[in-house]
Each structure stands twice: as C-alpha cells, then as structure tokens.
Amino acid sequence: MKHYEPQKEEIISAGIDIGTSTTKIVISKFSLMNMAGGAHMPRIEIIDKEVLYRSPIYRTPLLSATQVNIKAVEALVLKEYEQAGIKPADIKTGAVIITGETATKQNAQEMVYHLSDHAGEFLVATAGPDLEAIIAAKGSGAYEYSKKTGKTIANIDIGGGTANVAVYKSGKLCGTCTLHIGGRLVEFAGARIQSISPPIKKLFTQWGASIREGGSRSLADLTSLTDYMAAVISRMLNRNLLESDQPLLLGHKPNWQEEIDAIMFSGGISECIYKYEASTQGIAEYDDIGELLAASLRESKELNSWQWVKPEETVRATVLGAGTQTTEISGATIHVESSDLPLRNLPVYQVPFYKDLQSGLDGLPAAVSRAVEIFDPQQEGQNFALYITGLPYMGFRAIQELAAKITETAKLKPNRQQPLVLVLDSDHAKVLGQTLKVQSPGQSIICIDQINVEHGDYIDIGHLLQTSVVPVVIKTLTFNH
C-alpha cells in the first residue's frame, strides 16, 4: 500500500514598513502543508509562521520634506537582506507599505514600484490608512485578542504622522478611522520649534494660538496640544467627534456601530508608553512631541475609562502585520496561467447566485457591466476579479452552461486581452477554469477558490508555488454596515 506523504513547502515573506519617522524590515517563514488525507482533494494551509529576522529601526531616509530617498531606502533594505542571509529572489510574498505622512511624499508611489521590482516578489505594494490600520491591529495582537475574548477592541497605531485605528469584535473588522495625530507633527531644533505640520497649524489658527515655526518651545502650550489630541482620540472612539476636531480627521469618520470594550496602543508612541525596545530608547532624541503625547495618553481620564490591553508589539506592529498577516493561500485545485502572474490591485466584484443557477446566469451580464462602470469608467482596461458565490451543486452540464455564460459576458470588458479572473467560494475552480479554456482557447484564465473575500476588496495573486497553490493578499478597503 502506498504511504501517503503530505505535501510540504516553505516560503519566505518580507514586510517592509517605510513610515513617517522610521523604517523597519521583518523576514518570516511560512510552512505550507496539505492537510487533507491521501484520498481527499488537496487542502494546502499555512500551518506555521516563524519570524526569522527583525531589522534594527532606522530613521526613514528623506531627500527633502516632500521626497523619500529611494536609493537610500533600497540600500538599507538590501543590506538587511544580507544580514538576514536571504536574496530578493527568495521572497515569495509579503508587503512593502508606505505608512503615515510618508505616503503623501511626491515620489512615494515610484519608490513602491522600485522596491517591488528590485527587492522581491511583493504583493501588497502600498497601504492607504484603512489598510494600514488593519495590518497594525493584526501585528499588535488586537485582532487575536478580539478572536479569543469575543470583545470589541480598538487598536490605535500612532506613529510620527498619523493615528490609524481599527476596531475588531470576535475577529471581525467593524471599521476604521485615521487622525492627524503623531509624534513628529511638531519638531524642534534645540529650544526652538523647527516645523509644524499643516493640520496642527490649522488647529493653532482655530485656537488663536501664537505658536509658530521659529518660535520658542513652550511646555505648557505643547502639553495643551497633546492633551487635546488624547481627548480627540477618546471622542473618536465614542464616535462623537466635534466640528472643531475636523482639522485632525484624515478621510472618513469612525464607521463602526459597536461600543468599544478595550483599547490597545501600538506604533512608535506606544513604544514611548511601554519601552519594549531597549535599544531604541531615545530614538526620537526628544526632538518632537512623541514623549509628551505618550504622557497625555497615559494620563487621560477619558482614555482610562476603557480597559487597556498591552500590545504584543509596539513600534514593529505594522511591519510584523505586513510580513506575516497579509497572505492567504488559495485552494490547490485551481486553474491559473503562470505567465500572467503575479497580478496586483484587482478590485473584486461579487456576483451572488443564491444557489439558483438560472437566476445567477441571468444576472451575470448586468454584474459585469456594473463592474466595468465602477472599476474602468474611462474604458482604459483596469482589470477586476469576479467573485462568484452561492453556486448550487453543479454537474457537467451546469459547469458547461456557467462557462458559456461567462465567456459570452467577458466580451463586455473593454480589454479582451486581459486575464479573466474568477474567485469562487466553492470548490469548482479547476473544472470551471478548464472548461472556460476549452470554450475560449485564446483567453487567459485565472480561476481560484477557497479564498474568503468581500465585495469591494482588492486582491493580489502571486506566482504558482510548488504545492500548486497561489498566495493571495486580500486588501479590505471598504466597510459595509
């Protein structure tokens, strides 16, 4: 009798976080294994994640107030790879993310593309504030805490320029919010104020305060500012921001409905509170308001009305989340064309069948037309993935019908040369992909399953691995209540 040998594979993941104040890198190893018995359909899962290497924490290299030093960042990343004993070609998944105020630099996007071309097979290339909040909550331990306890916890990740908040209940994302609150929004040179960020200038104008660049630093004035920031965080958690708080709001208002049970702080300001990193004490050299802000948070009566849960990680929460929490693994019975991978930043449009094949088929053309209207309004060929859910039990004939309708409907897409990307919640990817290929031999087909994604998410699909699966990064950018 043949002995069943489970399929195993190890892949290397990197997380690179280029933030307002600091840049850090983490290298991790994922162990993949077929968890199904020999006679069953393969089911590849990530069974272990191990952090292999954590870089020191570097000051983010800047050319000017508006530009990141791309060459210096690349040199720093490659030097750290060497320290970790890996090469760019070894990296199969992970994320380069530009966080906080760095994301607003003129050449931020250029740097992301440069790094993903030169530093490994990255999937998530950049993070907007919502995604950054989610990644930090996973790296800090807040997400796991919510899963274990069933409580509603807000993770407040505060760095140099922004406070990114993600609220989780029982492992489910409830919503996010981002504020212009951070340690480097006011910086000093000796006894003078060197720089004040635009949102804080707006606030000072609103208050009629005389604090200005070049002026002397007044502890009383600056403590008033950081106490106010702590109060704004508290109002945001209660979803009752005032009109006067608007200069500090970045993007949308708090969008969760749940009452918060506990709070967790991560990011550089959390490091000022908890001092986990012995070697980075004094990294800010007190040339900004970071330590003052940490003190205001600790002493805030409003914030202390919640239970405080200690984070697993402080300043490294986002980079650990990026390196270890952004990747999922597809089903093993999929149909992909390797030459078209990787694919990045594909928006997902859900087409629910509700277990009724005919009504689902009837609704497909309208769904594809709507997806084109939303994601490719200028008809420039922005590709998207159709997420087909709720398929009924399907025999040979039903698969043929579904494939025929998808082939016909795909003609509504402006760019017919693009891969047709389908994500299924049921185990039909291989048979559907092969049937589509027979019906449209010239069409490139990417058909994957066993991925839990939502309408409005974005996905990245990586190269085919030895275990016949693909790493998939799901970027949740919208929230529906």
- CA 449, CA 471: separation in Å to the nearest integer? 12
Looking at the DSSP bridge assignments, the partners of residue 385 are 348, 421
pTM for this predicted structure: 0.84
Q: What local confidence, expressed as pLDDT, does residue 278 receive? A: 66
- CA 367, CA 345: separation in Å to the nearest integer? 20
Per the CB < 8 A criterion, the answer to whether 187 and 295 are in contact is no
Helix, strand, or coil here: 19?
coil
Give the containing element (helix H, strand E) for 434.
helix 429-439
Q: List, in order, residues 6 or more apart from 214 with CB less than 8 Å away.
A: 192, 193
Q: How far is CA 411 from the centre of its chain?
A: 32
| SS3 sequence of 164-221 | EEEEEECCEEEEEEEECCCCCCEEEECCEEEEECHHHHHHHHHHCCCCCCCCECCHHH
Helix, strand, or coil here: 307?
strand
Q: How far is CA 383 from CA 208, 225, 358, 364, in A?
A: 50, 46, 26, 17
Q: What local confidence, expressed as pLDDT, does residue 157 receive? A: 97
- CA 445, CA 443: separation in Å to the nearest integer? 6
Q: What local confidence, expressed as pLDDT, does residue 56 receive? A: 94
Q: What local confidence, expressed as pLDDT, does residue 45 receive? A: 85
Rounded to 5°, angle at Cα 179 from 178 and 184? 120
Per-residue pLDDT of the chain (481 residues; tens, 9 = 90+): 344 445 789 999 999 999 888 999 999 999 988 887 665 667 788 889 999 999 999 999 999 888 999 999 999 999 999 999 999 999 988 888 888 788 888 888 888 888 878 888 776 766 678 888 999 999 999 999 999 999 999 999 999 999 999 999 999 999 999 999 999 999 999 889 999 999 999 999 999 998 999 999 989 999 999 999 999 999 999 999 999 999 999 989 999 999 999 999 999 999 999 998 865 444 445 589 999 999 999 999 999 999 999 999 999 999 998 888 888 889 888 999 999 999 988 999 999 999 999 999 999 999 999 999 988 888 888 899 999 999 999 999 999 999 999 999 999 999 888 999 999 988 899 999 999 999 999 999 999 998 888 877 889 999 999 989 999 988 875 443 3
Verify cis geometry, omega within 30 degrees of 0, for the bond prior to 342. Answer: yes
Q: What local confidence, expressed as pLDDT, does residue 283 receive? A: 42
- CA 98, CA 107: separation in Å to the nearest integer? 11
Q: How far is CA 197 from CA 162, 190, 272, in A?
A: 11, 18, 21
Strand order across the 172-179 sheet: 172-179, 163-169, 152-158, 262-266, 307-308
Rounded to 5°, angle at Cα 239 from 237 and 245? 90
Q: What local confidence, expressed as pLDDT, does residue 8 receive? A: 84
Closest CA to 144 of 163, 118, 166: 166
Q: What local confidence, expressed as pLDDT, does residue 223 receive? A: 96
Helix, strand, or coil here: 441?
coil
| SS3 sequence of 70-108 | HHHHHHHHHHHHHHHCCCHHHEEEEEEEECHHHHHCCCH
**φ, ψ of residue 398 in degrees (nearest 5):** -65, -40
Closest CA to 326 of 457, 420, 424: 457
Q: How far is CA 57 from CA 8, 54, 268, in A?
A: 34, 9, 10
Closest CA to 106 of 63, 73, 72: 63
**φ, ψ of residue 466 in degrees (nearest 5):** -60, -30
| C-alpha neighbours within 13 Å on the C-beta side of residue 181 | 33
Q: What local confidence, expressed as pLDDT, does residue 229 receive? A: 98
